[in-house]
Structure 1
Amino acid sequence: MSVPRMLTGDRPTGRLHLGHYVGSIANRVRLHQRYESFFIIADLHMLTTRNRREDIDQVSGNAREMVTDILAAGVDPDRATFYLQSAIPEVGDLNTLLQNLVTVPRLERVPSLKDMARDAGKEEMPYGLLGYPVLQAADILCVKGEVVPVGRDNAAHVEVTREIARRFNHLYGPVFPVPELIQADTPSLVGTDGAAKMSKSRGNTIALSDDPATVRRKVRGMYTDPNRVRADVPGSVEGNPVFAYHEVFNSDRDEIADLARRYRAGQVGDVEVKERLVVALERFLAPIRERRAEIEADRGLVDRLIVEGTERTRQVVRHTLVEVRRAMGLTGAYQQVRRRAERSRRRTDAPA
């Protein structure tokens, strides 16, 4: 009995942060032992918003950092296949075939694409960004992914994949599984500025690899209740990023309840609430830092994982593409032309 496959991953745009952990990494750590797990380093997706040569030059370094972060968070390297998207050209071939199974109006209804364009400073939607969900469908379907753990922002993308898989199977036969979405238990994490979700492009993140001094500095600078000018003024817990982080990362539930009660009553200052958060984050991040140090001490480990995983994944994708072309009849069309050409050549070469 075959083990079902999971596909997940990130764009190599820098180190991963607490928002990534809440949105997808926690699910990956929990699920990867149950599935044959593929982790994509999605550098082609990165090009939709970052395509300068200097951005591309950073891919290899960012890829190593990304894989290191995922391993440090708890993913077992023996149970995960990491691969570099751009090193598998067959994914582009599949993308070309799948893009005819979805309409432009359908893609324009994917809500996160406009947000991605805005965050990247794009005045108009690039063609590649509009087709982002189709390329993502190619990523998932090329390895016949059956499970996709996603954050809330990517759920609409994966729904496009499900529609494309069903459309392909209806037209050409049952080649693809229709992947299941597994969403994170926690909504997207607000950034330290309190203005938007945690995002590298906004500079409002706490990285999984941040050292204790950096974590303390970022927490001390976090947005809280703007109407609270002194510690003895009752404050709001709801919508307060510091308390939102406590809820996610502080395992001491009694402490959270006590801080919330005193905060609402004007009996505790922001400084103490933030210091307690620093302690909670250190409990969470210290083991991750320790695992990261062990991974980095094994020089070449991450590079080997990426190369071996890419080579293995390419074999899987090539097999899928053969199935797709055969189901669509594309292989048969060329074979018919080639047979006629061979017959013509034999007649031409035959002695008079």
Structure 2
Amino acid sequence: MVAEGPKTGVVESFYDFFAQLYSSSFTANQPWPSSFLGSSALEGPVPRGDDRGLENQPPWEAPNRKAERGQSPQPRGSLVPGNERCPKPHPLEYGWPEDEFHTPMKPPKVTSPSPHGFPDPMEPSARGREPQAARELQAAREPREPRESQHDREREAKEWMRQRERECQESEMKFKEAPRSRREEASQEPRRKERKERRERKEGEEPYKAEPEDLIDQHVAYFLRKNPQVRPRHKIQRRSPGVYLLDSRDVQIEWQYATEPGGQGFLVVVDGPLRQPFSDYMMDTEENATYDGQDIVQSNLHLIARDRRISFNDTHKVYNRLEAMKVAKEQALVREKAASYVKDGRDVPQDLMARYKKPPDDKGEAA
């Protein structure tokens, strides 16, 4: 390869040729002038290299991106602090930076006569600095109270508290024992009934638990389970085998076997002179009810004619279970007396029916 001098434009080597080529290309294409980098469009191009080649270029400094963030694309004249268009004040507007800046401080709280704000050594607040000396001074200033007087004062305070408690209890008892007015009693009556009904309803909703070894009790539980509408109306409780507390009455429940072969037995309630099937008794009906006095009357009445027997026109009257038992017993006694008169051939006294129709109080006085 022939190497010529720089006057003829011939380079000595390919390396120098490419180095000059690259360096001329960089100097030919200058970067766009930017106001962010501190140059304006009127300034000349800033060369980034020379003709010495890439290997001889000075180190390139990266731009400060943090400083560019707060700048704006306005001309630099409008960014100078203190200018009319710049809202930022000049740094020397309030003085030189090295001048001492005095911050306003609040005046100290003076809680003692000391002008410097320190507490008096005689006060209890000085115990943090001189605890032992401050305690001694405080103890010397306070009058010493005898120990006996302290105990007396504590005893008086406790006695006063006990007396107040007794007074409060007595006033509460007087308020509870005070007779209430009729209006208060009338207002409390619906609440009592509601509580009673709610309690009975809750007891009725609970299933009846039968004894596993008592066959009659199992039949009672089966009937109550098959007839849930009966359970809320009656309160039943087993006391002993065959003895129950039914609606606050002691009754006996027995098993009545069928009289015909192949028939089915049933439960029977024995309530005093009343003997009735358990199902009819729980349904509050008078069906299939028999009384012990009826057999005695029938034994005396079968000797006389049916048309000569005494009849009671009370089919239109309605009795509850207790009244029905009393009426049946009294009618049985009247029929027995009338049958004895007819059997002996005597007339039935007129006052027999009159005494039967009298109220119970008048009957007791007549007797």
Instruction: With the length of structure 2 as denominator, give the TM-score of the two structures.
Output: 0.16
Instruction: With the length of structure 1 as denominator, give the TM-score of the two structures.
Output: 0.16
Considering Cα pairs closer than 8 Å and 6+ residues apart, tell me whether 1 or 2 has the greater RCO.
1
